């Protein structure tokens, strides 16, 4: 099972929406995942053991784990491109 950390400003609303959309998409693709949520500033304390970090905004820090901006999952623009990138990363 792949593990995804989803982070937003407060670790609540936006990260919940992104996490739900990731779960739905990846389950439909046959990729079992579990998601955890946190605030952006809590990423360093929560990223251990994660396969992917998805944030609600651009993050420049390198956590040693693939980190993607998940905003397209919220607004629906270019979300297919992001979904395919996520699928490729988690299928490795």
For 39, residues 6+ apart whose C-beta sits below 8 A from its C-beta are: 7, 8, 9, 10, 11
Classify burial at 80, counting beta carbons within 10 Å of its beta carbon; exposed 0-12, middle 13-18, buried 19 or more.
exposed
Catalytic (active-site) positions: 8
CA pair distance 71, 75, nearest whole angstrom: 7
């Amino acid at each position: 099972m792949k593990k995804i950390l989803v982070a937003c400003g407060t670790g609540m609303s936006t990260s919940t929406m992104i996490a739900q959309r990731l779960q739905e998409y990846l389950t439909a693709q046959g990729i079992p995942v579990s998601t955890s949520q946190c605030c952006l500033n809590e990423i360093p304390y929560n990223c251990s053991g994660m396969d992917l970090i998805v944030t609600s905004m651009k993050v420049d820090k390198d956590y040693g784990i693939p980190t993607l901006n998940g905003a397209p999952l919220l607004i629906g623009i270019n979300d297919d491109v992001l979904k395919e990138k996520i699928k490729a990363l988690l299928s490795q």
